[in-house]
Structure 1
Amino acid sequence: MQLAQPRDPATLRAYEALLQATPDLLYVFDLQHRFVYANDALLAMWGMTWEEAAGKTCLEVGYEPWHAAMHDEEIERVIATRAPVRGDVPFPHRVKGVRIYDYIFTPVIGADGEVEAIAGSTRDVTDRRMHEEHLELLVNELNHRVKNTLSTVQSLVRQTLGTADDLEDGGSRIESRLLALSRAHDVLTRENWHSADMQDIVAGVIAPYESAPGTRFKISGPACRLTPQRALALAMALHELASNAVQYGALSRDSGEVHISWDCTHAGEGAAMAFTWRESGGPQVQAPTRRGFGSRLLERGLRNDLGGEVELAWAPDGVVFRATAPLETAPTDGATPQLERR
Structure 2
Amino acid sequence: MPAQQEQNAARWRIYEALLQATPDLLYVFDIQHRFIYANDALLTMWGMPWDDARGRTCLELGYEPWHAAMHDEEIDRVIATGQPIRGEVPFPHQTKGTRIYEYIFTPVFGLDGNVEAIAGSTRDVTERKQHEQHLELLINELNHRVKNSLVMVQSLARQSFNNATSLEDAHEKIDSRLLALSTAHDTLTRENWQSADILELARDVSALCEPDASGRFVLEGTSCRVDPRRALALSMALHELCTNAVKYGALSSPQGRVRIAWERRVDVDGRDVLELVWQESGGPPVSPPARKGFGSRLLERGLKRDLDGDVDLAFDPAGVAFRVSMPLPATVSEVIL
The two structures have a TM-score, normalised by structure 2, of 0.91
Q: Tell me the equivalent position of 1:339.
A: 335
CA-CA distance at 1:186 after TM superposition? 0.4
Q: Which moved more, 1:121-130 or 1:322-331?
A: 322-331
**Which amino acid in the other structure matches residue 113 of structure 1?**
G
Q: Tell me the equivalent position of 1:31.
A: 31
Is this contact kept in 2: 1:285–1:319, CA < 8 A?
A: yes
Q: 1:228 to 1:255 in 2, by over 3 A?
A: same
Q: Tell me the equivalent position of 1:272.
A: 273
3-state SS of the aligned residue for 2:283? coil
Residue correspondence of structure 1 range 249-328 to structure 2 within 5 A: 249-265=249-265, 270-328=271-329
Q: Tell me the equivalent position of 1:115.
A: 115
Is this contact kept in 1: 2:225–2:334, CA < 8 A?
A: no
Cα deviations by residue, 1:175-202 (Å, 9 ceiling, x for unpaired): 1111101100100111111221111211
Q: Tell me the equivalent position of 1:329.
A: 330
Q: Tell me the equivalent position of 2:156.
A: 156
Q: 1:219 to 1:91 in 2, by over 3 A?
A: same
Q: 1:89 to 1:269 in 2, by over 3 A?
A: farther
**Long gaps (5+) in structure 2:** none
Q: Tell me the equivalent position of 2:79.
A: 79
Q: Tell me the equivalent position of 2:41.
A: 41
Q: 1:272 to 1:74 in 2, by over 3 A?
A: farther
Identity level (%): 63
Is this contact kept in 2: 1:271–1:330, CA < 8 A?
A: no
CA-CA distance at 1:269 after TM superposition? 7.8
**Which amino acid in the other structure matches residue 194 of structure 2?**
H
Q: Using the alignment, how far apart are the partners of 2:192 and 2:297 within structure 1?
A: 30
Cα deviations by residue, 1:279-327 (Å, 9 ceiling, x for unpaired): 1222221111101011111111112211222221112211111222232
CA-CA distance at 1:210 after TM superposition? 4.8
Q: Tell me the equivalent position of 1:334.
A: none
**Long gaps (5+) in structure 1:** 332-336
CA-CA distance at 1:239 after TM superposition? 0.2
Q: Which moved more, 1:248-257 or 1:266-275?
A: 266-275
Is this contact kept in 2: 1:101–1:124, CA < 8 A?
A: yes
CA-CA distance at 1:155 after TM superposition? 1.0
Q: Tell me the equivalent position of 2:186.
A: 186
Note if 1:225 corresponds to 2:221.
no
Q: Tell me the equivalent position of 1:91.
A: 91
CA-CA distance at 1:206 after TM superposition? 0.8
CA-CA distance at 1:100 after TM superposition? 1.0
Is this contact kept in 2: 1:6–1:12, CA < 8 A?
A: no
CA-CA distance at 1:212 after TM superposition? 6.4
**Which amino acid in the other structure matches residue 302 of structure 1?**
L
Q: Using the alignment, how far apart are the partners of 2:51 and 2:223 within structure 1?
A: 60
Q: Using the alignment, how far apart are the partners of 2:41 and 2:6 within structure 1?
A: 23
Q: Using the alignment, how far apart are the partners of 1:59 and 1:273 within structure 2?
A: 58
The two structures have a TM-score, normalised by structure 1, of 0.90
Q: Using the alignment, how far apart are the partners of 1:181 and 1:207 within structure 2?
A: 14
**Which amino acid in the other structure matches residue 28 of structure 2?**
V
Is this contact kept in 1: 2:222–2:336, CA < 8 A?
A: no
Q: Using the alignment, how far apart are the partners of 1:102 and 1:269 within structure 2?
A: 49
3-state SS of the aligned residue for 2:60? helix
Is this contact kept in 1: 2:251–2:257, CA < 8 A?
A: yes
Q: 1:50 to 1:136 in 2, by over 3 A?
A: same
Residue correspondence of structure 1 range 10-29 to structure 2 within 5 A: 10-29=10-29
Moved over 4 A (4+): 266-269
Q: Using the alignment, how far apart are the partners of 1:285 and 1:217 within structure 2?
A: 19
Is this contact kept in 2: 1:303–1:309, CA < 8 A?
A: yes
Aligned-residue RMSD, C-alpha: 2.2
**Which amino acid in the other structure matches residue 321 of structure 1?**
F
Q: Which moved more, 1:22-31 or 1:54-63?
A: 54-63
Q: Using the alignment, how far apart are the partners of 1:289 and 1:133 within structure 2?
A: 53
Q: 1:128 to 1:217 in 2, by over 3 A?
A: same
Instruction: Count residues with an aligned counterpart.
Output: 331
Is this contact kept in 2: 1:34–1:55, CA < 8 A?
A: yes
